[in-house]
Each structure stands twice: as C-alpha cells, then as structure tokens.
C-alpha cells in the first residue's frame, strides 16, 4: 500500500512538472489604454483562452502601443516577436491589398452595414487573404465612424482647404486628404497630441472614443462630423503561433475571439455615447455637414483607382451592391 501511494505521489509530481513546462506565455499588442473597449475585450479574450486551455496559454496584454506603433507591430507579429494583436484595417491593408477597400471613404453608412459584410462571406474572404499573409483573424472589432477634429473652427469642407491634417500611414487616407485640398501629415498615433499642441498639425481624424481617451479634445475642440470612414479592426494571431496549436486549442482561440468581438462591439457603442457626452461638457463643438455629396464627389478619383485594380475590384463591387 505504501509503495502504491508513493508511486501515485511521484506520478502526481511528474504530471505537475509537465503541466508547468507546458505553459506558454504569449504577448498581445494593442495601441489603446486600459479601460478602452479594445483593451477590455482583449483582456476578456485572454481570460477565456486561459480557462479553455487550463492555463496552458497565458496571454499578457501590452497596451498603449508600448512595444511600438502599428506599422512596427505588424512586422513584429509576422516575425513572431509578438503573438497576437489588434490592428486597424489601415496597416493590415499594406500586407493584403484587397483589404484597402475597407478604408475607402463613404463606403459604409454605419457599423451595422459594415458587419453585415464582415460577418459574412466577404469577411471570410478577407480572413483567408490575411491568413496567407501571416495573420489569422479571430474576430472583427468596431473602429467606428471617423471624423475630423481641429484646433480651428471647421464648418464646411472649404474650411479644411490647406489644413495640415494628421493621418495614419495609409495610402488611402493620404490620398483622401489630398482630394480635400488639405495636406496629409502621417504621424504615429502617440505623437498626435503633441503635434496638435505645437501647431505642427491643424487637425486630425479619428473616432470619438479615441478623440476623448487621448485628450485630443483639450486642444482640438472643433469636430466636423463627417463619419467619412466607418473603420474595421481585427483581433489577429500570427500564423507562426496558429500552426503550432492543436485542433482543440485552435477551436478555443477562435471561440474566445468571437466572444471578445461581440463584447467589444457592445462596449464600443457605450463608449461612443460616453465620449460624446464628456467632450461636449468640456466645450467641444460638433458640426455636421448638411450634405456630404460634395465630399463624396471629390473621392471619385480614389474610387476609380480601386475599381480599376483587379485586387480590389471584386470586394468593392460586393460592398456597393448591398
């Protein structure tokens, strides 16, 4: 009996040691602060993965772009320096040209319109293309409607003429601003507040939660509510990690990703309302153009370019048709 007990004890210790060895720590990147919908959804994802895999996979969230800006993080994910990340569609489009259509201005009317496509066959096609480029999509997140905010009053499209406007490093955003007779200034997200304070840029463009959470509203109090881009974002895992996962673990990661996307979208809706209320109380003014058709017409060269490109034509036609 004593020998049997001793054997069981040794076996238990051996199994415990094996479990310890099997634990894998993963690094997940995002550009937003704690409390932001993206960060909270990623925390939920990490918790669900931990539970589903009996803590064999432990995910540490690196927020606030602490490991680098988005273009750098894209390269880090592809090289395996980080394992998971949440990216906007802008940086991802450099890796997969077809994704560029998601950044076209005035393409989607709102987030519901966008997710009707991303949660369907078009989203599956984008995900397949991203996977071939090194990114496995675990969930589509909501980047919301983007508008311009400036340190000077902006009441019409003409008021943007000649303005220095910060944009992310994306071909479409740069071309869009040029077509508005303004000057695009590509800067890392973390540098925007300083650029506004120092007068290096007159305006920036982003969604309302980003406008509020970064403190940009303290400097740029004039918001021109164009919702010119309804932006898609994605929670992705590197193919380097994905290919190492077992079938069961892949299912756990996928399920956790979908749940986190559902959570993020709900958190996002609430955060938009909160951001609007807070910035209004702090003196921000919101001007909505009566008619966006003059802005849309200016985008004709941009649409013509991507309609002529075989890598983006099919995706663009799919969206416009519905």
Complete domains list, the chain, with CATH: 2-321 (3.40.190.170)
Residue 171's pLDDT is 84
Mean pLDDT of all residues in 56-66: 94
Q: How far is CA 120 from the centre of its chain?
A: 19
Higher pLDDT among residues 212 and 99, named by residue: 212
User: Is a pLDDT exceeding 60 seen at residue 288?
Assistant: yes
Q: What mean pLDDT comes out for the span 14-26? A: 61
Highest average pLDDT, of 86-90, 117-121, 277-281, comes from 277-281
Q: How far apart are CA 243 and CA 245, in angstroms?
A: 6
Asked whether 230 and 128 are in contact (CB, 8 A), the reply is no
Q: How far apart, in whole angstroms, are the C-alpha atoms of residue 245 and residue 223?
A: 46
Point out the least confidently predicted range of 20-24, 38-42, 153-157, 237-241.
20-24
Rounded mean pLDDT, 192-202? 97
User: What per-residue confidence (pLDDT) applies to 302?
Assistant: 94
Query: Confidence band (pLDDT; 50, 70, 90) for 280?
Result: very high
Separation between Cα atoms, residue 172 and residue 161, nearest integer Å? 18
b/e per residue 168-195 (b: at least 16 CB within 10 A): bbbebbbbbbbbbebbbbebbbeebbeb
* Model confidence pLDDT, tens digit, residues 68-92: 888 889 999 988 899 999 998 877 8
Question: What's the mean pLDDT in 9-18?
Answer: 43
Helix and strand totals (H; E) in the chain: 14, 9
Q: What is the mean pLDDT of residues 88-97?
A: 81
What would the pLDDT profile of 216-263 be if each residue is shown by its tens digit? 999 999 999 999 999 999 999 999 999 999 999 999 999 999 999 999
Q: State the burial class of residue 198 (Cβ atoms within 10 Å of its Cβ: 0-12, 13-18, 19+).
A: exposed
The pLDDT value recorded for residue 100 is: 85
Q: What is the rounded average pLDDT of the residues 10-30?
A: 64
Mean pLDDT of all residues belonging to the chain: 90
Measured CA angle at 295 (ends 289, 296), to 5 deg: 120
* Reported confidence tier of residue 103, pLDDT bands at 50, 70, 90: confident
Q: pLDDT-derived band of residue 55, with 50, 70 and 90 as boundaries?
A: very high
Measured CA to CA, the distance from residue 290 to residue 150 in angstroms comes to 19
Give pLDDT, residue 322.
65
Global confidence as pTM: 0.84
């Amino acid at each position: 009996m004593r020998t049997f007990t001793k054997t069981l004890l040794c076996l238990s210790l051996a199994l415990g040691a094996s479990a310890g060895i099997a634990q894998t720590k993963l690094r997940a990147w995002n550009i937003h602060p704690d409390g932001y919908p993206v960060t909270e959804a990623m925390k939920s994802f990490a918790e669900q993965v931990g539970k589903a895999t009996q803590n064999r996979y432990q995910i540490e969230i690196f927020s606030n772009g602490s490991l680098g800006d988005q273009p750098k993080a894209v390269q880090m994910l592809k090289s395996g320096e980080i394992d998971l990340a949440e990216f906007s569609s802008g940086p991802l489009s450099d890796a997969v040209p077809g994704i560029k259509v998601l950044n076209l201005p005035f393409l989607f009317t709102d987030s519901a319109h966008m997710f009707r496509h991303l949660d369907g066959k078009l989203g599956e096609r984008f995900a397949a293309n991203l996977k071939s480029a090194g990114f496995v999509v675990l969930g589509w997140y909501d980047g919301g409607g983007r508008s311009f905010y400036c340190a000077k009053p902006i009441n019409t499209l003409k008021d943007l003429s000649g303005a220095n406007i910060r944009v992310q490093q994306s071909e479409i955003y740069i071309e869009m601003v040029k077509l508005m007779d303004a000057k695009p200034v590509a800067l890392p997200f973390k540098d925007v507040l300083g650029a506004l304070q120092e007068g290096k840029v007159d305006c920036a463009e982003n969604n309302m939660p980003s406008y509020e959470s970064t403190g940009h509203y303290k400097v740029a109090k004039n918001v021109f509510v164009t919702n010119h881009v309804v932006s898609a974002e994605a929670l992705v895992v590197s193919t380097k990690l994905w290919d190492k996962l077992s079938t069961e673990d892949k299912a756990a990661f996928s399920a956790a990703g979908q749940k986190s996307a559902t959570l993020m979208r709900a958190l996002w809706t609430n955060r938009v309302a909160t951001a609007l209320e807070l910035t209004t109380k702090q003196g921000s003014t919101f001007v909505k153009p009566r008619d966006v058709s003059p802005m849309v017409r200016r985008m004709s060269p941009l649409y013509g370019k991507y309609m002529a490109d075989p890598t983006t034509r099919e995706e663009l036609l799919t969206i416009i048709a519905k």
